[in-house]
Structure 1
């Protein structure tokens, strides 16, 4: 760490990593500009800043889009990650690191966080059946879905869901409800604004269920340690990017002093993943 910053604590801010199955839109630019403004402020205030952005390149949605275009998933990811990077250059986004989840450093980090969750007793193998949205890369209870007049069942944001049955590894999210609520009570600024925090707390109080964290019906993702017939559910892989950039699992890495992050800037549609799943994985 540079001595000139030693009088003030470091500051770590992240955008969500963006899904490169298509080109950027105004929402991506808005998020990057908001984070850029905050990062520049803290640099002017004399703090050492790590500003992270990047692309979330695994998952069934990427594999399906690549197949439709007649290219490999990695070719699609590389092409569209470049488009995001060019846009950030055009907008003068002052990021310090652009992470791609296909990078070797991220695969190593994701596999290590999986191993630690498994060692902690939080992962077990079972069979999953339920409604899955390829677009949202998320599972939904039937009560969260609606059947349209066209006969298509959809999740709350409107994307179609399909019935999935397969062997899957599960994370014991049900064990973390009280711990998460206690953390939020002790840290009232953990989720902001307040209405989103209240939504998260209400969701936790309604009862957390264990979540599926692996897939077997496609192979475009980070392989599960010890069972490479499974790839990690994209949100385990994607969320881990934030700690990958700090150097995990090397806690002596040059950037490790930035961890944990000060701000994860996200959209309201991914609050559940960041405010419930991510801290539970880290616990």
Structure 2
């Protein structure tokens, strides 16, 4: 296991692929860890290097404050500067996509290109995130897990035995890390900053996404001049889990084009 020491403690990461190859950085969704990408990475080009990490307060990473998107963007910037050692293609899903937008607006020199998946420039409202925080504090993460699964996945995936593993990942996430990230989401609005971006961008949605509906994702794609917007039919909020082959088919040409 690999660790980057941050001011608050350990940030857990993993890097795979040939030494010296261009790097793709992945930032995952709320309530998941770096295993989110396990099924996808073997389907991506073998000549690239893949860096993924547990957000602070998730997985094996310690929690700092974690209640501002800027906190999470600072972690991603540190990974790019310290581990990648140069510009990356940044793939961010859900809150990971907001982190990616924050990094792109603050340090465009660190990015070759941007992939925003099942995300938006603003996700939800302050009131909706506060309601979720209140529910977690009252009943724990397990009390909201069933509803989250309904928003994460389409009916076909929810009928498989694998659903239990993702429900367990969510329910066993550190509650304080999850709540801190909810607080960050309640305040985050990248609309103006994302509209000012001028870099290659691919934006991906699932037409069965109950957390970030395709129309919301499409509106964020429209903010970035020249962004390529793609929808995966039948996919929910985490298409890299539900449909990794379809996700890889969209992602691979973009990675190959912008890693040169």
Q: TM-score range by the shorter chain?
A: 0.3 to 0.5
TM-score of the pair, normalised by structure 1 = 0.31
Report the structure number with the largest CA radius of gyration: 1
